[in-house]
Amino acid sequence: MALMTWTQKLSVGIKSIDNQHAVLFETLNELHAAMMKGQARAVTGSLLHTLLTYTRDHFAAEEALMVAAMYPALPAHRAQHRKLTKQVEEYVARYERGDVTLNVELLKFLSDWLTTHIQGEDHLYGPWLIEHGVR
């Protein structure tokens, strides 16, 4: 059973961003599935690095669209992105130090943050970007 399921309710109305959000959900579900099979330690490092790289790329793409559309709340949104990136970097550092309690805490943090961020902040920029020609 998946930890998180992508639904249209989470859509921001911009296909490229929705697709990227769905990939983030899939990555978290991979880690969850590995945990359920007792294989989390074997895949956590790789998934964490993938998640960090993908998160950085996703945020850059999202922010580029906001810049192009002159989204007025970009500075605050960018600050949230930086905060999350720093938190994921801290999880990577903890993993590399051998923290064995990481997986459950990481999954909870990321699933909560991702759904809250998408349903709150990301849903605010969707209409603005669409109104300003971003599809």
Output 132 or 103, whichever has higher pLDDT: 132
The pLDDT tens digits for 34-53 are 878 877 777 778 888 888 89
Please identify which residue in the block is written with the tokens 């920029």: 125
pLDDT of 100:
64
CB 65 within 8 Å of CB 14: yes
CATH of the domain at 77: 1.20.120.50
Contacts of 98 (CB under 8 A, 6+ apart): none
pLDDT of 59:
94
The answer to whether residue 5 sits within a structural domain is no
pLDDT of 96:
86
Is it the case that residue 127 has pLDDT exceeding 90? yes
The answer to whether residue 2 sits within a structural domain is no
CB 43 within 8 Å of CB 27: no
Taking the C-alpha atoms of residue 4 and residue 29, their distance in angstroms, rounded to an integer, is 7
**Domain ranges, residue 124:** 14-131
The pLDDT tens digits for 100-112 are 666 778 888 888 8
What is the pTM assigned to this prediction? 0.86
The pLDDT tens digits for 47-89 are 888 888 988 999 999 999 999 999 999 999 999 999 989 988 9
Output 1 or 113, whichever has higher pLDDT: 113
The answer to whether residue 1 sits within a structural domain is no
The answer to whether residue 6 sits within a structural domain is no
DSSP state of 23: H
CB 28 within 8 Å of CB 48: no
How far out from the chain centre does Cα 49 lie? 13
Q: Which two tokens stand for residue 9?
A: 């309710």
The answer to whether residue 42 sits within a structural domain is yes
The answer to whether residue 52 sits within a structural domain is yes
